[in-house]
C-alpha cells in the first residue's frame, strides 16, 4: 500500500454564517473574504504540514489545482510542489494535478511537470484532471461541450512532448505548434506515472485503461458510496482483459485519528463540519455546466456529490452519521485501522490519498492525527496486497543519488571555494 498525505489548503477563515450570506464557496465568492496577510502565514503553515507528512513517513505528499474558491487555495499547485521539492527529499510529490484544457498551450504543463520531476530528482506523480466544472467552465471559461476534446488533445501533446527526443510539429484543433521541443525533459522514463482523478465520468475508465494510468476517485461522500463506482471500474478492467492490480486505483478519504474514538469526535468534529458546510457550499448553478458531463455519464446516473440532495444532507449530518456511513474514517488507531482495511479491500485500491488537514483545523490537530496514523495505522496496512508487492508501475522512480537541498541554508550560503 502507498499512502499520500494530501492538503487541499482550504481558507479557514470563512465566517460562521457563510452558508446563509453567500451563495457559493466557488467561482463568485467575494475575494474580499481572502486576507493576503493571513494568507502569507497560511501557505507556510500548510507547506510545513506537507513537509511534516514527509518526515513522519508518508509515501507521498499531494497537492491539487482549483480556482477562485475558498475550498482549496492552489490555483497553481506547481508552485507549492516546487517549494516542497526543495525542502523534502524522500516522499513522492503528487500533483493531482494540472487541468490540461486550461493551459494555453498545454506544453506549459509538460514543461512545468518536467521541471518538477528534475527538481525533485524523479519524485513526481503527474495528475491530469479534467477539472471541476466550476474551475474549468465558470472560472476559466472553457466551453463545456468541447472541454473533453480539448483535454484529450492536450494530453496527446504532453505525452508526446515528454517522450520525443526530436523537435516535432503538432497540428491540433486547439493547439498548433511548429516546434515542440521540451527543455527540460523529465527524469522518469518513459514518463512520470500518470494519475487521472475522476469524479464519476465513466469514459474516464477507458481512457485510464487505454494508457495504463491510475484511476483516482476523489469524492467526499466516502468509501461506502465510492464502492458502487469502483465496482464499475473493476468490472471494466476485467472486461478489457487487464490485470487487476489494486495499484490501478486510488481513493481519496478524509481520515481523523485520535487516542480514542471519543477524542476523535472532540478534536475533529467542528473542523469536519466546517469542511462539509462551508468548503463544499457550491452554488448548484456552478456544479455542472450543461455539456460538461457526457450524456452517457448522466444516463448512468452517477451521483454528483455537489447535487442539492447531498449539499442539504451535508448540513444535517451528525458526527455519528459521518462515521457510520463512511463519509469519514475517524476514531482510535484501532478503529481507523479496521475501517481502512475494510475500505482498501472493499474498493480494491493500492493508493490512499489521505485528507488529514480538514477545514479550519489547527496545525497541531493535523499533526496529531497524521502522526498517530503514520505510527499506529499505516504499518499494519502496508502489506494488504502481498501478491502485488512488487508492482511499482504507478509509483515514482527517483534517482538513487539526489541533491539534498533540504539539508540547510549553510551550504547554500557558503563563500566560493575552489574545488581541490
CB 278 within 8 A of CB 14: yes
286 binds another protein (CB under 8 A): yes
Q: Considering beta carbons, is residue 184 or 290 the nearer one to another protein?
A: 290
Phi, psi of 411 (to 5 degrees): -65, -40
Please identify which residue in 283, 310, 314, 319 interacts with another protein, judged by CB under 8 A.
283
Interior CA angle at 98 toward 197 and 358, to 5°? 65
Please identify which residue in 169, 295, 412, 416 interacts with another protein, judged by CB under 8 A.
295
CB 380 within 8 A of CB 107: no
The CB-of-49 to another protein minimum distance in angstroms stands at: 34
Write the CB contacts of 159 (distance below 8 Å, at least 6 apart in sequence). Answer: 191, 211
For another protein, the binding residues in 107-166 under the rule CB under 8 A are 137-138, 141, 143-146
Number of residues that bind another protein (CB under 8 A): 19
359, 361, 363, 365: CA torsion to nearest 10: -130
Q: Considering beta carbons, is residue 51 or 203 the nearer one to another protein?
A: 203
242-253 burial, b at 16+ Cβ within 10 Å, e below that, comes to eeebbbbbbbbb
The CB-of-303 to another protein minimum distance in angstroms stands at: 14
Which of 50-58, 62-70, 286-294, 396-404 is the region at the interface with another protein (rule: CB under 8 A)? 286-294
- Cα distance between residue 47 and residue 51, in whole Å: 6
Which of 10-18, 195-203, 292-300, 353-361 is the region at the interface with another protein (rule: CB under 8 A)? 292-300
Q: Considering beta carbons, is residue 55 or 143 the nearer one to another protein?
A: 143
Partners of residue 124 on adjacent β-strands: 93
The CB-of-173 to another protein minimum distance in angstroms stands at: 8
Please identify which residue in 31, 179, 299, 410 interacts with another protein, judged by CB under 8 A.
299
- Cα distance between residue 269 and residue 255, in whole Å: 12
Which residues in this chain contact another protein in the complex, by CB under 8 A? Answer: 137-138, 141, 143-146, 283-286, 289-293, 295, 298-299
Amino acid at each position: 500500500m502507498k499512502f499520500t498525505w494530501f492538503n487541499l489548503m482550504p481558507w479557514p477563515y470563512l465566517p460562521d454564517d457563510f452558508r446563509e450570506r453567500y451563495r457559493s464557496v466557488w467561482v463568485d465568492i467575494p475575494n474580499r473574504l481572502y486576507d493576503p496577510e493571513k494568507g502569507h502565514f497560511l501557505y507556510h503553515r500548510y507547506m510545513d504540514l506537507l513537509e511534516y507528512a514527509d518526515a513522519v513517513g508518508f509515501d507521498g505528499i499531494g497537492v491539487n489545482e482549483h480556482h477562485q474558491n475558498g475550498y482549496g487555495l492552489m490555483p497553481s499547485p506547481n508552485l507549492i510542489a516546487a517549494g516542497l521539492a526543495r525542502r523534502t527529499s524522500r516522499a513522492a510529490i503528487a500533483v493531482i494535478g494540472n487541468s490540461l484544457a486550461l493551459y494555453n498551450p498545454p506544453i506549459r504543463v509538460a514543461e512545468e511537470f518536467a521541471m518538477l520531476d528534475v527538481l525533485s530528482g524523479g519524485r513526481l506523480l503527474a495528475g491530469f484532471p479534467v477539472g471541476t466544472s466550476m474551475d474549468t467552465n465558470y472560472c476559466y471559461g472553457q466551453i463545456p461541450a468541447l472541454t473533453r476534446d480539448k483535454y484529450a488533445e492536450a494530453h496527446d501533446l504532453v505525452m508526446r512532448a515528454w517522450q520525443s527526443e526530436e523537435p516535432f510539429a503538432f497540428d491540433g484543433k486547439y493547439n498548433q505548434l511548429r516546434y515542440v521541443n521540451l527543455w527540460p525533459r523529465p527524469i522518469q522514463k518513459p514518463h512520470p506515472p500518470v494519475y487521472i482523478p475522476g469524479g464519476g465520468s465513466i469514459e474516464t475508465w477507458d481512457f485510464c485503461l487505454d494508457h495504463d494510468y491510475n484511476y483516482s476517485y476523489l469524492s467526499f461522500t466516502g468509501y461506502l458510496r465510492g464502492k458502487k463506482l469502483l465496482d464499475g471500474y473493476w468490472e471494466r478492467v476485467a472486461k478489457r482483459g487487464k490485470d487487476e492490480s489494486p495499484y490501478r486505483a486510488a481513493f481519496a478519504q478524509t481520515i481523523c485519528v485520535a487516542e480514542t474514538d471519543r477524542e476523535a469526535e472532540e478534536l475533529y468534529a467542528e473542523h469536519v463540519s466546517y469542511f462539509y458546510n462551508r468548503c463544499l457550499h457550491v452554488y448548484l448553478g456552478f456544479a455542472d455546466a450543461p455539456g460538461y458531463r457526457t450524456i452517457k455519464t448522466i444516463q448512468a446516473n452517477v451521483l454528483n456529490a455537489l447535487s442539492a440532495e447531498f449539499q442539504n444532507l451535508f448540513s444535517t449530518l451528525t458526527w455519528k452519521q459521518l462515521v457510520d456511513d463512511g463519509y469519514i474514517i475517524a476514531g482510535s488507531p484501532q478503529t481507523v485501522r479496521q475501517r481502512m482495511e475494510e475500505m482498501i479491500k472493499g474498493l480494491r485500491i493500492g493508493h490512499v490519498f489521505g485528507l488529514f488537514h480538514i477545514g479550519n483545523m489547527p496545525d497541531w490537530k493535523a499533526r496529531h492525527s497524521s502522526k498517530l496514523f503514520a505510527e499506529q495505522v499505516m504499518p499494519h496496512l502496508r502489506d494488504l496486497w502481498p501478491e502485488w508487492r512488487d508492482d511499482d508501475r504507478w509509483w515514482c522512480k527517483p534517482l538513487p543519488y539526489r541533491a539534498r537541498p533540504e539539508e540547510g541554508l549553510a551550504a547554500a550560503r557558503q563563500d566560493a571555494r575552489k574545488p581541490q
